[in-house]
Chain A
Amino acid sequence: MPETFDSPPRFDTVLIANRGEIATRIQKACRELGLKTVVVYSEADRQAPYGKTADSALCIGPSSAAKSYLNKDALLLAARLTGAGAIHPGYGFLSENAAFADAVEKAGLAFIGPSASSIEAMGDKISAKRAMIAAGVPCVPGPDTALSDDPAAVERLALEIGYPVIIKAAGGGGGRGMRVVPEAGLLQEAVALTREEARQAFGSPSLYMEKFLQHPRHIEIQVLCDTHGNAVWLGHRDCSMQRRHQKVVEEAPAPGISPDVIRPVGRACVEACRQIGYQGVGTFEFLYEDGAFYFIEMNTRLQVEHPVTEMTSGIDIVQAQIKVAQGDPLELAQADVKCEGHAFECRINAENPDTFLPSAGVITSLALPEGMGIRVDTHIHAGYKVPPYYDSLIAKLIVHAPTRAEAMARMREALAGTRVDGISTNIPFLRALFEDSAFTRGETDIHYLEQWLKQRRAP
């Protein structure tokens, strides 16, 4: 059932419930919209530069994320003490926490994101799949119901879908709570193990089963919806370059997929948003194999990789998200969305480029690239101390050029001009990846990077 669209509260001050590069990015968007910002930080982030450029800054807890950035009460108290009218959750932390979105709304504040019920509905993978099937979004073969407790019924279902199958936790995501089953003999043990994992990690033993695709690519569709029933999709991204289910490089558009193939999928995503009454920005994630799309999940928040879509579409997604939260109607229709050129994003992580172990410490000196078609989203500076408590992402290097080949060349130049001293980063690894011939050709699948790394390690 579609939700009713209530008028959201207007606001002039936004509390940024996040840290790092995304706190800087949200602050920039707010400033350009004439909004004041409140930055909250943990003790480890006391010296973060975005705290100094905010209208107000408040320490909300110790370094542990559980006691600061994940502390709902501390965040709501900070909003109350500073007079903030809205909370932007960024990505990660509480951005997809339905209880937090609900608490923000109940406190009379605007949550810059979808409603709590939308987050909840899309957070449960079974109900999300059901909603997508109803809207005509293509899904991976497998039922939109929870897996039965009856072993015989589970076996029948696996045979019906065809091996290999994948068992997934209904409350899972981000690559956790799933197990591939290549043959019938391994099925029951896999179900039992995944069910126990799901019970412990996600608080629900509910599982579902799908066909396991062997060589898929990870393709995303970005949507933007207002509170008046308008929705558009802003093109597509390829995020197949992953290590341990974590994206490393993203690009837009996804290479080798013709507009005729992607257009009906984009339209179905928009239709799904209308049917569920979705508000704000969101991302439909798909596996793509042999010319077909299979829905995997919807992310009900801003994505780390949103800049590649901003570069190709020319739309400031964070500003658009804030305007939607203010109750403004979308300023564009689908016909106005024109994606041009090609964009790449590299995630610069504070980690060892060979072992990928996190690297904390002081950045002694820093060089970041500049120039036409180059953008760097970051909060770091020379003298900045990378704390060991959080995600290792310290910067995003984004380039845009008329063609994919030109964008790759621009990224090579940009990476050559990037230097972070004092800590280890993955920059050498990214430089090597952008010299790889298969990646240069494009259309590599989600397993490619792991295989490439294995080959590099081989003597």
Chain B
Amino acid sequence: MSAIDFSDPATIAFLTEALTAAGASGLEISWPGGRLRIVIATGNEAGVDVSVTPRPAPTAQPLVVVKAPMAGHFYPGSPSRQAATDRLPSVLAADILGFLRVGPLLLPLCAGRAGILTKQLAEPDALVGFGDPLFEIEPQS
């Protein structure tokens, strides 16, 4: 996430100056907490509209979806433990949640993020394509 504070008057002044120098007519930036809109009017008088949404109280982090990195047949679980959805285990980022079988090869599917494995989203032995969702993880920091 960007560390720039777009509601900071100094930042707005800098952007306005840069837009005017570049001959641009305006700019709009949205970020999770708000929106900045600068319109360079005729005569180089800029109109600025900053709306900052109050930041919500910290809640659970958004769920992370583990997607298929390529096409293949989906095999949940790993040889070293039960099928992934038999329980709701804590997983580490490096844990193998299952495999993609591509011909004779088994491609491991890593969690990529520590957390609680909440859902398996594809059926065992299903043919999945690039980007298809396979698992859902609730991250834990």
Q: Is the CB of B127 within 8 A of A56?
A: yes
Residues of B near A78 (CB, < 8 A) are: 71, 129
Which residue of A has the minimal Cβ distance to B101? A81
* Contact assessment for A81 and B71 in the assembled complex, using a CB-CB cutoff below 8 Å: yes
13 contacting pairs across A/B (C-beta < 8 A): A56-B127, A59-B71, A59-B130, A60-B71, A60-B130, A74-B130, A77-B71, A77-B102, A78-B129, A80-B103, A81-B73, A81-B102, A81-B127
Q: Which of A56, A68, A80, A81 has the most CB of B within 10 A?
A: A81
Q: Which residues of A contact B71 (CB under 8 A)?
A: 58-60, 74, 77-78, 81
Q: Is the CB of B131 within 8 A of A82?
A: no
A43 at the interface (CB under 8 A from B): yes
With contacts A62-B130, A77-B71, A82-B127 known, what are 19 further pairs, Cβ within 8 A? A43-B131, A46-B131, A57-B129, A58-B71, A58-B127, A59-B71, A59-B129, A59-B130, A59-B132, A60-B71, A61-B130, A74-B130, A77-B102, A78-B71, A78-B129, A80-B103, A81-B71, A81-B102, A81-B127
Chain B, interface size category, equals 10 to 19
CB distance B70 to A58 under 8 Å? no
B115: interface (CB < 8 Å): no
**Contact residue among B73, B102, B103, B131 (Cβ-Cβ distance under 8 Å from A59):** B131
Q: Is the interface of A mostly helix, strand, loop or mixed?
A: mixed
Q: With A77-B71, A81-B71 known to touch, is A62 a contact of B102 (CB < 8 Å)?
A: no
* Chain B residues with CB below 8 A from A74, complex form: 70-71, 130
Smallest Cβ distance from A47 to chain B, in angstroms? Answer: 13
A58 touches B129 (CB 8 A): yes
Residues from chain A with a CB closer than 8 A to the CB of B139 are: none
Return B78 CB to nearest CB of chain A, in Å: 22
Q: Which residues of B contact A58 (CB under 8 A)?
A: 71, 127, 129
Query: Is residue B98 contacting chain A, with contact meaning CB distance below 8 A?
Result: no
- Spell out A's residues near B (CB within 8 Å): 43, 46, 56-62, 68, 74, 77-78, 80-82
Nearest 7 interchain pairs by C-beta: A59-B129, A58-B129, A59-B130, A61-B130, A43-B131, A58-B71, A59-B131
In the assembled complex, the Cα of A60 lies from the Cα of B132 at a distance in Å of: 10
Q: Tell me whether B76 is interfacial, beta carbon within 8 Å.
A: no
Chain B nearest CB: distance from A71 CB in Å? 10
Cα of A119 to Cα of B132 in the assembled complex, Å: 35
**CB under 8 Å from chain A, chain B span 102-141:** 102-103, 127, 129-132
For B102, what are the chain A residues with a Cβ–Cβ distance below 8 Å? 77, 81
Compute how far the CA of A80 lies from the CA of B129 in the bound complex, rounded to whole angstroms: 13
A180 CB, nearest partner CB in chain B, Å: 37
Q: Which of B73, B103, B127, B129 has a CB less than 8 Å from the CB of A60?
A: B129
Bound-state Cα–Cα, A56 to B132, Å:
14
Shortest distance between the CB of B48 and any CB in chain A (Å): 28
Residues on B lying within 8 angstroms of A by beta carbon are: 70-73, 102-103, 127, 129-132
Is A81 in contact with B132, judged by CB distance below 8 angstroms?
A: no
Chain A hits for B103, CB < 8 A: 80
Instruction: Tell which of B73, B127, B131 touches A62, judged by Cβ atoms closer than 8 Å.
Output: B131
Kindly list chain B residues whose C-beta atoms are within 8 Å of the C-beta of A60: 71, 129-130
Question: Least Cβ distance of A347 to chain B in Å?
Answer: 30
Complex Cα distance, B103 from A186, in Å, reads 58
Q: Tell me the nearest residue of chain B to A77, going by C-beta.
A: B71
A46 to B133, CA, bound (A): 13
B96 to chain A, nearest CB (A): 21
Shortest CB-to-CB span from B81 to chain A, Å, is: 27
Q: How far is the CA of A58 from the CA of B131 in the complex (A)?
A: 10
Q: Which residues of A contact B131 (CB under 8 A)?
A: 43, 46, 59, 62
Contact A43 B127 (CB under 8 A): no
A241 CA / B103 CA spacing, docked (Å):
48
Residues of B contacting A61 in the complex (Cβ-Cβ under 8 angstroms): 130
**How far in angstroms is the closest Cβ of chain A from B127?**
6
Bound Cα distance from A78 to B70, whole angstroms? 10
User: In the complex, what residues of B have CB within 8 A of residue A82's CB?
Assistant: 127
CA of A81 to CA of B127 in the docked complex: distance in angstroms?
8
Bound Cα distance from A178 to B72, whole angstroms: 44
| CA distance in complex: A96, B71 (Å) | 25
A454 to B102, CA, bound (A): 55
* Interface-centre pick from B71, B129, B131 (highest chain A CB count, 10 A): B129
**A80 CA to B72 CA, complexed, in Å:** 10
In whole angstroms, how far apart are the Cα atoms of A59 and B67 in the complex?
12
Asked if residues B70 and A43 are in contact (CB atoms below 8 Å), the reply is no
Q: Which residues of A contact B130 (CB under 8 A)?
A: 43, 59-62, 68, 74
CB closest residue in chain B, given A51: B129
CB distance from A89 to the nearest CB of B (A): 18
Q: In the complex, what's the smallest C-beta–C-beta distance from B101 to chain A, in angstroms?
A: 9
Q: Which residues of chain A are within 8 angstroms of B72 by Cβ–Cβ distance?
A: 81
Cβ distance B13 to chain A, nearest Cβ, rounded Å = 33
A80 partner residues in chain B, CB cutoff 8 A: 103
List residues of chain A with CB within 8 A of the CB of B132.
59
Q: How far is the CA of A96 from the CA of B102 in the complex (A)?
A: 28
Bound together, the chains give a CA A58 to CA B120 distance in angstroms of 19
- CA of A57 to CA of B132 in the docked complex: distance in angstroms? 12
Docked Cα-Cα span, A195 to B106, in Å, equals: 47
- A78 and B132 CA atoms in complex are apart in Å by 14
